[in-house]
């Protein structure tokens, strides 16, 4: 384990993110009203930009925008799905009307590499992994839970050996370049608003117009 860098950060260090946290219930309400299919797109071993190109081609063929499948040990993972919202500070065009308030909160923040809603289905897990390029790019990750089990909530993130429970409205900011894994051993879905963001831009409060 890397003991030289902190695994977790405080939301107090990133004032522009507080608006998301304060309004997590609005984000939850928009998410709960969202009706979207799972697209037949495999994210395994693909950069975000490549996935977006594949999505655009998929939509261009008359399909509906929806969730992409995550990756697993042996290919696509249908128990871990993502609904993309923003890439490199640009809103993915298919989502603005469906999640207008959520997009409004996100557009105020400069330095977002990726924003998405991410769902883990019951009794699922994501293997231990790391993204060393995030440290090189000065990026941190945010998990803002908007859906968790109301009883027996066994949804957790572990970064560098330290566990944090996913609880609605309670943000988790962490260094994804360190070893981490997630699990949801609850009987209900766990959904988060997920961000990869520029640590320095967001810490200093740079804002989009």
The answer to whether residue 111 is domain-embedded is: yes
**Residue ranges in the chain modelled with pLDDT below 70:** 1-3, 72, 74, 206-209
Q: Output the pLDDT for position 209.
A: 47
Per-residue model confidence as pLDDT tens digits over 126-185: 999 999 999 999 999 999 999 999 999 999 999 999 999 999 999 999 999 999 999 999
Q: Output the pLDDT for position 3.
A: 53
The answer to whether residue 208 is domain-embedded is: no
Q: What is the CATH number of the domain that holds 66?
A: 2.60.120.330
What DSSP character marks residue 133? H
The answer to whether residue 3 is domain-embedded is: no
Number of domains comprising the chain: 1
The answer to whether residue 36 is domain-embedded is: yes
pTM of the predicted protein model: 0.93
What's the domain range around 178? 8-203
The answer to whether residue 1 is domain-embedded is: no
Report long-range pairs for 198-203 (Cβ below 8 Å, ≥24 apart).
198/110, 198/111, 198/112, 198/113, 198/137, 198/138, 198/139, 199/138, 199/139, 199/140, 200/111, 200/138, 201/110, 201/111, 202/14, 202/16, 202/17, 202/109, 202/110, 202/111, 203/13, 203/14
């Amino acid at each position: 384990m890397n003991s030289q860098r902190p695994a977790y950060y405080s939301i107090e260090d990133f004032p522009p993110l507080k608006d998301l946290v304060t309004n997590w219930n609005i984000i939850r309400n928009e998410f709960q009203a969202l009706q979207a299919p799972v697209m037949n797109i495999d994210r395994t071993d693909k950069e975000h930009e490549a996935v977006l190109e594949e999505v655009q081609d998929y939509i261009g063929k008359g399909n509906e925008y929806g969730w992409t499948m995550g990756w697993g040990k042996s290919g696509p993972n249908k128990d871990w799905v993502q609904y993309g919202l923003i890439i490199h500070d640009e809103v993915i065009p298919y989502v603005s009307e469906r999640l207008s308030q959520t997009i409004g909160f996100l557009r105020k923040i400069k330095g977002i590499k990726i924003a998405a809603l991410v769902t883990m289905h019951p009794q699922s897990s994501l293997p231990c992994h790391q993204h060393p390029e995030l440290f090189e790019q000065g990026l941190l990750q945010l998990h803002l839970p908007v859906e968790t089990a109301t009883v027996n909530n066994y949804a957790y993130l572990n970064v560098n050996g330290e566990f944090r429970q996913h609880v609605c409205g309670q943000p988790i900011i962490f260094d994804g370049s360190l070893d981490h894994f997630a699990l949801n051993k609850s009987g209900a879905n766990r959904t988060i608003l997920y961000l990869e963001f520029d640590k320095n831009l967001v810490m200093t409060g740079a804002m989009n117009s």
